[in-house]
Structure 1
Amino acid sequence: MSRNFMTWLVYGLIGLAVIGFTASLFTDTIGLLKNLFIAVLTGALIFALVYFLFMRKRTTNELKKYRKAVKQSKQKYKTNQHITPISKTTKATKPIQKIKTKHKERKDIPHLRVIEGNNNKKRKNRASL
């Protein structure tokens, strides 16, 4: 029942705000516009203060990490982009050959490691302890 009451209370406040806005619009338009401008300016000022004091410092560190990761990824997956263009005379006489890139196959990947364990041991029943 309190939820129904709160819903009606919110609708009532919104209705009163609309009535006050329209009354102010017809009676004192310049004052209404001035108050709206001051409210928007105050909100923008508060947002700017919060952003520059708290949020900007946090995102800068994350952005640096992101840019570093992008740079590393580009270096890892770099392709040979400096291929000289084929002239028109060689194009007509010779077929185009694809450039094959050699991929190194690594047997040990540095960021993965095997953890060996003894699977033959009987596990203890922790509920009975």
Structure 2
Amino acid sequence: MLNRSLSYIIYGIIALGIFGLFAKVVNDPVGFLRNIIVMIVIAGAIFFIYRMITKDKSGNAGQRAFKKAARKSKKKTKSKSNVTSFSKSTNSTKKNRIRKKSDIQLTVIEGKKNKKKNRALF
């Protein structure tokens, strides 16, 4: 019973809001557009200030480190390809014996290895 009356109240508020919006558009369309533009400008200013405040250096540092590692890896693979192309032209017999190392760079992520699991939670 309480749930049904609460839904009627919510539907009534939504209906009054739609009616008021329609009345505002019919009576004063320029004022309505002005209010919408002001709301958009204020929301944009708040969003811009929020982005400036929450812009942290640590997130950019991680991205910077990733880009640096990617450049280093690219240089490393480029130098390997130059060396292997030179060695292929000079020594074709050694080509079969030398194995090409994988270009995949793996990173070890440290975890909590020494922490015991609490079996009571399972």
Aligned to 2:60: 63
RMSD: 3.9
Question: Unaligned regions of 5+ residues in structure 2, if any?
Answer: 86-94, 103-107, 115-122
Aligned to 2:92: none
* Sequence identity percentage: 21
Paired residues for 1:99-110 under 5 Å: 101-102=100-101
Whole-angstrom CA distance in 1 between matches of 2:73 and 2:40: 48
TM-score w.r.t. length of structure 1: 0.52
Aligned to 2:16: 16
**CA shift digits 1:9-42 (9 cap, x unpaired):** 3322222111111111111111111111111112
Give the partner amino acid of 2:68. Answer: K
Q: How far is the alpha carbon of 1:68 from its aligned partner?
A: 0.2
Matched residue of 2:100: which SS? Answer: coil
Aligned to 1:80: 78
Give the partner amino acid of 2:47. Answer: F
TM-score w.r.t. length of structure 2: 0.54
Whole-angstrom CA distance in 2 between matches of 1:70 and 1:28: 54
Give the partner amino acid of 1:28. Answer: D
Matched residue of 1:80: which SS? Answer: helix
Matched residue of 1:11: which SS? Answer: helix
Whole-angstrom CA distance in 2 between matches of 1:71 and 1:2: 61
Aligned to 2:46: 46
- Flag the structure with higher helix content: 2
Aligned to 2:117: none
Which structure has more relative contact order (CA 8 Å, sep 6+)? It is 2
Matched residue of 1:51: which SS? Answer: helix
**CA shift digits 1:93-120 (9 cap, x unpaired):** xxxx8995347xxxxx9x7xxx8xxxxx
**CA shift digits 1:37-70 (9 cap, x unpaired):** 11111221222222212x113xx32121132034
Question: Unaligned regions of 5+ residues in structure 1, if any?
Answer: 87-96, 104-108, 116-129
